[in-house]
Structure 1
């Protein structure tokens, strides 16, 4: 009986891990990035207005982060690491942005504060407002708290998706390492 209960517990735990590992969100490796959308930009050259980040990135190497909440410490750590890589790869015209879903009035001061604390230099923080939401063709999974898409020439080279609370330091290191897939020196 105890053995059966333990076996069921192991299956439940491993089954949950498989579901998390199989979480797909956004365009997958080899796919074209679906196209333009204009979120409200909190930082960057278009701060205070809506502007197309897909358009701004063009064919350059891009790291796009889509997040459901703006106050998660690991998401902020990811953005800071991506910002450092973007600055390091300025000669390659690397571009990065993070788009957060939620209430603009609540998120804007939160994101401004986060950008200041993290001393972000290059990564644009934006809010997915209701006027021009991220198109459905981006296929962002509702179970993904954070989706990271690395692309160049508008073709996805790496994609990561994380359920709420599952982004780790090791995952951040993997994303940073994969910048080499979009930036050629």
Structure 2
């Protein structure tokens, strides 16, 4: 009987791990990116204004990062790594942007500081205020703290979703490696 209880516990724990690994957020591979929205840009050419980053990317290779908080060190590490890839792939006209969800008044100084500390050269950071959330058509999971969508020609080529605290260095390496799916080898 104890063996059966332990086996059931292992199944429940492993089942939970499978569910966590299968967290889906945002448009999935092969789907069209849902379209325009106008977040407040913290840096870049439209700093201090709302602008459609999806529109700016057009059909170019793009990485779109949605994050629920502006103070997560791993998210900032991801954006710094993607900034280096974006600079490296400038000839492919790669475009990368991070959209943070929350209170604009609280997030703006955090993100300005993060962009400066990371010395971001090509990644645009933006805020979608809690009063004007990211459009439902993007189908972002409330369980996903970070959602990363790599696309080109407005079609998703890779999608990564992470619960709070689950983004790791290994994940960042995998995402950076998948940039080749949108810019070619």
TM-score for the superposition, normalised by structure 1: 0.96
Runs of 4+ in 1 over 4 A off after TM superposition: none
Corresponding position of 1:35:
35
* Alpha-carbon distance in 2 for matches of 1:84, 1:6: 47
* Alpha-carbon distance in 1 for matches of 2:78, 2:177: 12
What is the deviation of 1:26? 0.5
* Alpha-carbon distance in 2 for matches of 1:30, 1:45: 30
Can you list the C-alpha shifts for 1:19-39, whole angstroms capped at 9, x where unaligned? 111111111111110000000
- Equivalent position SS for 2:44: coil
Describe how 1:63-142 pairs up with structure 2 within 5 A: 63-130=63-130, 132-142=132-142
What is the deviation of 1:2? 4.2
* Alpha-carbon distance in 1 for matches of 2:98, 2:42: 10
Can you list the C-alpha shifts for 1:31-61, whole angstroms capped at 9, x where unaligned? 1100000000001100001000000100000
Residue 10 of structure 1 pairs with residue 6 of structure 2: no
Which consecutive unaligned segments of at least 5 residues does structure 2 have? Answer: none
- Say which is worse superposed, 50-59 or 2-11, in terms of deviation: 2-11
Corresponding position of 2:184:
184
Describe how 1:139-154 pairs up with structure 2 within 5 A: 139-154=139-154
- Equivalent position SS for 2:159: strand
Corresponding position of 1:26:
26
* Alpha-carbon distance in 1 for matches of 2:11, 2:51: 47
* Structure 2 contact 101–130 (Cα < 8 Å) conserved: no
In angstroms, what is the RMSD of aligned CA positions?
1.3
* Structure 2 contact 44–124 (Cα < 8 Å) conserved: yes
* Alpha-carbon distance in 1 for matches of 2:117, 2:96: 18
* Structure 1 contact 85–176 (Cα < 8 Å) conserved: yes
- Say which is worse superposed, 132-141 or 169-178, in terms of deviation: 132-141
* Alpha-carbon distance in 2 for matches of 1:16, 1:169: 22
